[in-house]
């Protein structure tokens, strides 16, 4: 009985994804853009050593480098009429080409 139910659930799960239709993007409009300058981010993680009844936590420090980032917020319209906002990372040239109408 359990095996039959699990097989039916697997079949229903597979058909639920098989019926999904890929939406086609019909319009993309830039509505905002942002520039994030290069920066570093500091972080800490701890190494824990347990010896008998005592616990020692040793802090470790690190830095993460993030280069310049150019992003554009698009309002995307699909063929089914639904809309979605999505940030996209772009090159500096694409970023400079986009004019936001305010």
Instruction: Report which of 76, 62, 65, 68 is spatially closest to residue 96, judged by C-alpha positions.
Output: 68
Instruction: Report which of 42, 37, 46, 38 is spatially closest to residue 63, judged by C-alpha positions.
Output: 42
Report the distance separating Cα 33 and Cα 69, nearest Å: 11
Point out which residues pair with 28 in neighbouring strands: 76
Instruction: State the pLDDT at residue 68.
Output: 95
pLDDT tens digits, residue range 5-58?
878 778 777 666 665 678 888 999 999 999 999 999 999 999 999 988 999 999
pLDDT tens digits, residue range 38-53?
999 999 999 999 988 9
């Amino acid at each position: 009985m359990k095996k039959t139910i699990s097989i039916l659930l697997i079949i229903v799960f597979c058909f639920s994804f098989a019926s999904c239709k890929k939406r086609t993007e019909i319009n993309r409009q830039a509505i905002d853009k942002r520039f994030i300058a290069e920066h570093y981010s500091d972080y800490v993680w701890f190494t824990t050593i347990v010896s008998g009844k005592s616990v020692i936590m040793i802090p470790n420090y690190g830095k993460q480098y993030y280069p310049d980032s150019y992003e554009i917020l698009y309002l995307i319209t699909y063929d089914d009429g639904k809309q979605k906002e999505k940030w996209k990372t772009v090159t500096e040239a694409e970023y400079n080409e986009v004019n936001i109408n305010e």
